Chain A
Amino acid sequence: GAVVSQHPSRVICKSGTSVKIECRSLDFQATTMFWYRQFPKQSLMLMATSNEGSKATYEQGVEKDKFLINHASLTLSTLTVTSAHPEDSSFYICSALDRGRPGTGELFFGEGSRLTVL
């Protein structure tokens, strides 16, 4: 099946620094990728839709200047958490739509990236 890879899987940073998380589709082209955030014992919350070659679409309540998304190629989207604070500590998960499977809408998820801000 289609594979989506995230890097890094775990990252610890100091408060005030910026952290970049990469999301790659390994065996298909993804014009659309999604970024989710998940706090402990909670469900996934959609943060934004990343579109290749255009600006990301953010969900209500998500600060676009705080969470910078870049989707510069058909296989790579990045999420940068700027000026991270302890409350940004979370599990960040990306997903990509494999348009090579028309009609199914199958969404493939990365392994997730656990961010801890000290």
Chain B
Amino acid sequence: DAKTTQPPSMDCAEGRAANLPCNHSTISGNEYVYWYRQIHSQGPQYIIHSLKNNETNEMASLIITEDRKSSTLILPHATLRDTAVYYCIVRSAGSSNTGKLIFGQGTTLQVKP
């Protein structure tokens, strides 16, 4: 599975949009982009995923560049409860069937009042 690169940490003001970048320049055609987050001392929580199209759900929006080499997770109105480590994971369709997820270091998002 392709490796991802994320900034180690980011700050965001409460109520503002949080834009979390992820580089996956070696992504291949059958690899999906997944985002999970982990609030302190809890298990990871699924946020969103896509193969190539931009996606939006009740939690966030995922924007993937046309060449698919990078993506951005957008939390439109960050709250203090969004403070967490956010993981961007690229996984092949084959791995999707097995469910195996390999976590990188992620981005620690600190939402400040």
Q: Which residues of A contact B (CB under 8 A)?
A: 4, 6, 32, 34, 36, 43-46, 49, 91, 93, 95-97, 103-112, 114
Contacts and interface: CB of A to CB of B under 8 A. Distances in A.
A105 B105 CA distance: 21
Given A95-B99, A104-B49, 12 more contacts: A6-B43, A34-B101, A44-B44, A49-B98, A93-B43, A95-B101, A103-B96, A104-B96, A109-B43, A110-B43, A112-B41, A112-B42
B101 to A, nearest CB: 6
Interface string B59-99: 00000000000000000000000000001000100011111
A105 B103 contact: no
A112 B44 CA distance: 9
B99 A107 contact: yes
B104 interface: yes
Interface of B: 32, 34, 38, 41-46, 49, 87, 91, 95-106
10 contacts: A43-B104, A45-B103, A46-B103, A93-B43, A104-B49, A105-B34, A105-B95, A105-B97, A106-B49, A108-B46
A32 B99 contact: yes
Nearest to B44: A109
Contact of B99 (A34, A43, A103, A114): A34
Given A44-B103, A95-B101, A105 B96 contact: yes
B19 to A, nearest CB: 22
